[in-house]
Structure 1
Amino acid sequence: MTETVFTVERPRFDPRTGAALFGYRLGELSFTEKLEFPVPELGAEKAASGAFAHLLDLTAAVLGVSYFKLLAPLDIDLTALSLAEGDAAFLTDVYENGLGEFYARNALERFGRLRFRLSSPRTPTSSLTLLERTLVLIGGGKDSLVSVDLLERAGKAITLFAVNPKGPILSTAQRSGHEMIGVTRTLDPEMIRLSKEEGYYNGHVPSTAINSMIAALAASLYGFDTIILSNERSASEGNIAFDGRETNHQHSKSLDFERLIGGTLARASGGGLGYFSLLRPYSEARIGQLFARTSRYDDVFSSCNANFRLGGNKGPLWCGKCPKCHFVFLVLAPWMTYDRLTAIFGQDVLDNPENIPAYRELTGLSGHKPWECVGEILEAAACLWRLTGNADWRNCTVVATLRPELEAFYGQSKLETAFEELMTDSPDHLIPASFQTAVASHAA
C-alpha cells in the first residue's frame, strides 16, 4: 500500500490583482487557498524580487498545516519550493510543535517522525528595500491594544494589520484611529467539509505562525521593515506532556518560536525585516494593569473565542463561559472597579457558581491548563488570591469558594510572592533597543 504524501505546490502571486494562490495535494485530494492583498500602494517591483519569492514559498509551507492535518501523513513534499539553509528547521518546528495540541488531542505521534522532501537550497537573495515603518498585528483583544497604546505614548507611527478582519478587530482598529491593512484569506471549502467528516482529523493549527507569514508578505509588498506582535511571556508555558515533549497550545506565540521565525524572516528578506513581540517582558496580570489605564476600548474589545469564529461575530462581545472570558475577567479584576468590569462583560463572571470548576482548572487545583490562550497556572492562582483582599471582589462566589483551596494548595506566602513577580518585567525578550527604550518609560 502506497503511503499518503502531503505535497505543497509552488505558489503564485499576481501583483495586478493582489491575489496569491497556494496549491496542496494530500494523496489524491487537491486544495487551493487564496490570499487577497489590497492593490493600492502594493509594490509590484518588490513582488518580483527573489526575497519576496522566498517569503512566498515559506508562507505556502506554513499555510499548508491546515490541509496536512486532515490525514497527518509522515511524508511532506516541499520540492516544488525553493528554500534556504535553515528553513527546514523552522518548518519542522511548525509541523511538529506548532501542531502539538492537534497531535495530542488526536493521539498521533509525529515528533521526530516527519520526513521532509526538499529541493537544493536556494542561493542567498539581496535585501528587500523597506521603509522604517511599523506594522502591528491587531486581534481585537486587550494585548494588541496595549501595544498600540504603548507605541502611541512613545510617539511611534504605526499601521495596523489583520487577516480577515471582523467584529472587534474592525471596531478596535476604528476606535484607535490608525490605518489598517486587511488581507482576505479564503480556505478551500473542501478542506473545511472534510474536516467534519469521519476518517479525517481536525484540530488546532498555529494561527499566529500563519498570520505572521501573511504579515511578512504584506510588510514586503507595502514597505514595512518591522512587524510587531503582542505575545506575553506566559505564552511560553505549555499544557501537557505528550509524545516525549511539552505540548503548548500557544507554541507559535512562545519566545522560542519568536526567535526561530524572526531569524527565518530576517534571512529570507536579506536582513531587511524585523519581527518581535512588544509585550514579551510582561505577564498577563501586568498587561491587565496597562490595559486598565484607559477606558478607550471598553465597549469594543473582546478576547472571547467562543463568539468569534471564521464567520465573524456570532453573539455578544463576551460569552462569560469560555476559558478566555474566565481568564481575562480574572486578570482585569485587580485593576478595575466592580462596576467597570461587569459593565464590560455584561455579567459578574466571578460570582457565577457554575464557573468554579473552570477556575479550579485555571488555577491548577484540578485538571490541566485549558487548551486556550490563557496565562500561567500560578499566575491565575496569584491573581485570584489577590482578589481575596479586594473589597469589590472578595465576596464573589468563585473567590470566596476557592480561597481556602488556594491557601491549602499553594500557601499564602507563595501566592503573594508570585503576584509580586508577575509585576516585575522580564529581561528575556527580543525587543530592539530603539523600541525598548522608547516604550519602557510609558509602561512604568
Structure 2
Amino acid sequence: MSSPETFIFSDFHYDPQARLLKLSYGFDDGSEFVEEIRFEGAKADLTREEQQVLDSLFRQFHLAAGISYYKAWCPARMEVRTGPLSQPEADFFKKFYLMGLGEFAVENNLDLRERINFPVTADKAPVAANLKLPEMNAVPVGGGKDSIVSIEALRHGGRPQRLLAVNPGRPILEVMERSDIPDPILMRRKLDSRLFDLNDKGAMNGHVPITGILSFVMAAGSILYGYDHIVMSNEQSANEGNMIWNGLEINHQYSKSLEFERDFTSYLQTHIIKGLTYFSLLRPLSETGIACLFSRSSQYFDVFKSCNRNFHIDEGVRQYGWCCDCPKCRFVYLALAPFIGKEKLVEIFGRNMLDDAPQEAGFRELTGLQGHKPFECVGEIAECRLIIKSLSLQPDWQQSRLVPKLAAEIDEPGLEAKALEKEALRMSPNHQLPPAYKELLDDFTGA
C-alpha cells in the first residue's frame, strides 16, 4: 500500500440548529475523512461577534483534531484550505504535533521533526477577540479521582460549576450523577470509521494528545454553553516525561503538562479569545496528594474508575470496572493504599494487587526498578518509591508480598502515615492558578 505525500485540512462546517460540527480531511491519494462533533443542548442563536469567535475556535480545533488522521501516514507536506496560516499558528501546531505524537513516534520508530510542516501563508497572526463570557467554571470529568477532587474543591469554595464531558461512558455519567450537580454539558465526538479501515490495511496508529485535542473543543464550548473558566484536573506529576528519544523528552501526558497548559493559554488569549481562562486547579499537587484528598470523598468510592478499559474508543469492547492488570490500575491502587487502607481498597478493586506476584514487573516499572515509566497517566517514579517504602512501615500492608520485596530495593526512607500525608499535600509553586483559586485550593487542603 503506497503512502500519500500530502495531508489536507479540507474544510469545516457548523450547523447551529443541528448543533453539529463537521471536520473534513484528506490525503492526496483521494482518501477523505469527516469527523463529527455534536454539542448537545448548546444555544443555537448566536450574536455576530459570538459566531466570529466560534468560527475562529473551530478553525483552530480543525487543525488540532487533524492529528488523529495525519498520523496514519505522517507525510512531509501539509495543505491548509481553511485560510492562510501565520507563523505563530504554524509554530504552535508544529510543537503540538511533534510533542503530542512523541509516544507514537517511539512506537513506530519515526523521527517526525522534518515531517511536520505547517505552511506559512499569512503575514499577520489573528488577534484575540475581547468577548465577555458568563462567569462559570466548566469542569471536565474523566470518571477518575482527579476531577472528583476538583469538583469537591470548587464546591467547598462555593464556586459555581457545570460538569463537562466528551463521549461520556458509564463511569463518567455515574460520577456526574453522584456529584448531584445539575445540568451537565455533554459533547459527542465521532471519528470517521474510514480511519480504522486504514489502520486495518497497514496505516500507522498510536497515542494522540487527546487532552489537547479536547481542550479546543471545550474552548468552543465556552461560546455555546457560556463559561469563562475551564478548570482542568492535571497534576504536577504529568510534567514528568517517560524517556529521552531522538533528543526529545517523550511524555505520554504531554497535553496534560504545565508546558502545554501555558502554551495553550498563551495561544488562546493572544490569537483567539481574551476572556477565557484555562488552568489546572490541581497542578500544585502530586498524584499522591490528589489520592490523599480523594480518600476524604468516600461517596464516590463505588463509582469512580480510572482503568482505560472503561473508556475504549470502541464502545463494543469497553469493560466496566477495574481490570487489575494495567499500569493505571496498579498506580491508582498504589496511590490510594496509604490513605484508604487495605480492607476498603480490596473491596473497591476486588483483589489485593500488592499481594499478587504477577503484578511485580508492573510495580517495578512504576518505582523505577526496571524498564522506564509506563506510557500511561501515572505518577512520578519518586512518589511511587516513597509510597512503597512508607507502606512497608504500615502493619496493614507489611504482609502483602510485593511491599517488603520492593521496599528492600529502595534506598530512600519511608514516612509514617501523618508525615506521608503532610508530604503528599506539600504544594509546588510551579503552576498558573489565578490567585483566588490558589487560595481556594489552600483552604480545601488545609494548607
Runs (4 or more) in structure 1 with deviation over 6 Å come to: 413-420
1:152 aligns with 2:148: no
Q: Distance in 2 between matches of 1:441 and 1:147?
A: 13
| CA–CA separation in structure 2 for the residues paired with 1:239 and 1:418 | 25
Q: Which residue of 2 aligns with 1:385?
A: 389
Provide the C-alpha distance between the structure 2 equivalents of 1:296 and 1:22, rounded to a whole number of angstroms: 40
Shift of 1:13: 0.7
User: How far apart are the structure 2 equivalents of 1:373 and 1:161?
Assistant: 20
3-state SS of 1:32 partner: strand
Q: How far off is 1:397 after superposition?
A: 1.3
Q: Using the TM superposition, give the Cα deviation of residue 194 of structure 1 relative to its aligned residue in structure 2, in angstroms.
A: 1.2
Task: State the partner residue of 2:208.
Answer: 205
The residue identity in structure 1 corresponding to 2:443 is S
Q: Say yes or no: does 1:287 pair with 2:290.
A: yes
Offset of 1:310 from its aligned partner?
Answer: 1.8
Taking the aligned partners of 1:268 and 1:162, their CA distance within structure 2 comes to: 25
Mark the CA change 1:43 to 1:93 in structure 2 (over 3 Å): closer, same or farther. Answer: farther
Counterpart of 1:130 (choices 125, 130, 133) is 133
Q: Which residue of 2 aligns with 1:236?
A: 239
Partner of 1:9: 10
Task: Tell me the residue number matched to 2:268.
Answer: 265
Alignment: residue pair count: 440
Q: Displacement, 1:51?
A: 1.9
- Give 1:252's aligned residue: 255
Letter in 1 for 2:65: L
Tell me if the contact between 2:305 and 2:321 (Cα under 8 Å) persists in the aligned partners. Answer: yes
Structure 2 distance, partners of 1:244, 1:4, is: 26
Change (3 A) 1:38 1:3: closer
Between the aligned partners of 2:343 and 2:415, the Cα distance in structure 1 is 30
- Compute the displacement of 1:267 (Å): 2.5
Alignment of 1:322-337 (within 5 A): 322-337=326-341
Partner residue of 1:431? 433
Partner AA of 2:112 in structure 1 = R
Q: Write the deviation string for residues 150-185 of structure 1: whole angstroms up to 9, x where unpaired.
A: 010011110011110111100000111123111110
Aligned to 1:195: 199
Point out where structure 2 has 5 or more consecutive residues left out of the alignment: none
**CA separation of 1:414 and 1:338: change in aligned 2, threshold 3 A:** closer
Question: Secondary structure of the residue that 1:319 maps to in structure 2?
Answer: coil
Give the aligned residue type for 1:401. K
State the Cα distance separating 1:346 from its structure 2 match: 1.2
Q: Answer whether contact 2:85 2:119 (CA < 8 A) is retained.
A: no
Q: 1:275 to 1:40 in 2, by over 3 A?
A: closer
Match for residue 26 of structure 1? 27
Q: Aligned with 1:424: secondary structure?
A: coil
Compute the displacement of 1:45 (Å).
2.3
Q: Once the 2 structures are TM-superposed, how far is the Cα of residue 210 of structure 1 from its aligned partner?
A: 1.1
Check if 1:405 corresponds to 2:409: yes
Match of 1:350 in 2: 354
2: distance between equivalents of 1:2 and 1:195?
A: 13
SS for the counterpart of 1:332 is: helix
Indicate the SS of the match to 2:100. Answer: coil
- 2:217 maps to a residue whose letter is I
Secondary structure of 2:299 counterpart? coil
CA distance in 2 between partners of 1:303 and 1:31 (Å): 31
Q: Which TM-score applies when normalising by structure 2?
A: 0.93
CA contact (8 A) 1:78 1:119 kept: no
SS at match of 2:347: helix
SS at match of 1:23: strand
Give the aligned partner of residue 70 of structure 1: 72
> What one-letter code is carried by the residue in structure 1 that aligns with 2:89?
D
Following superposition, the deviation at residue 201 of structure 1 comes to 0.3
CA distance in 1, matches of 2:128, 2:430: 31
* In 1, Cα distance between equivalents of 2:194 and 2:309: 24
Q: Within the alignment, does 1:339 sit opposite 2:343 as a pair?
A: yes
Q: Distance in 2 between matches of 1:419 and 1:366?
A: 27
Note if contact 2:394-2:416 (Cα within 8 Å) is conserved in structure 1.
no
Q: Deviations over 1:14-51 (max 9, x none)?
A: 11111101000122211000000124534522685322
- After superposition, where does 1:415-430 map in structure 2 within 5 Å? 421-430=423-432
State the AA in 1 paired with 2:38. Answer: E
Residue 316 to residue 114, structure 1, CA distance change in 2 (3 Å): closer
- Say which SS state the counterpart of residue 129 (structure 2) adopts: coil
Taking the aligned partners of 2:392 and 2:330, their CA distance within structure 1 comes to: 17
CA contact (8 A) 1:330 1:383 kept: yes
1:2 offset after TM fit, Å?
9.7
Contact 2:13/2:22 (8 A) holds in 1: yes
Question: What's the CA shift string for 1:322-354, capped at 9, x where partnerless?
Answer: 100000000000101212111111111111111
Q: For the Cα contact (< 8 Å) 1:5–1:74, is it kept in 2?
A: yes
Contact preservation (8 Å) 1:229, 1:277: yes
Task: Name the SS for the 1:441 alignment partner.
Answer: helix
Cα offset, 1:83, TM superposition: 4.8
C-alpha separation in 2, matches of 1:144 and 1:2: 41
Tell me the distance in 2 between the aligned counterparts of 1:383 and 1:46.
Answer: 54
- Normalising by structure 1, we get a TM-score of 0.94
2:368 corresponding residue in structure 1: 364
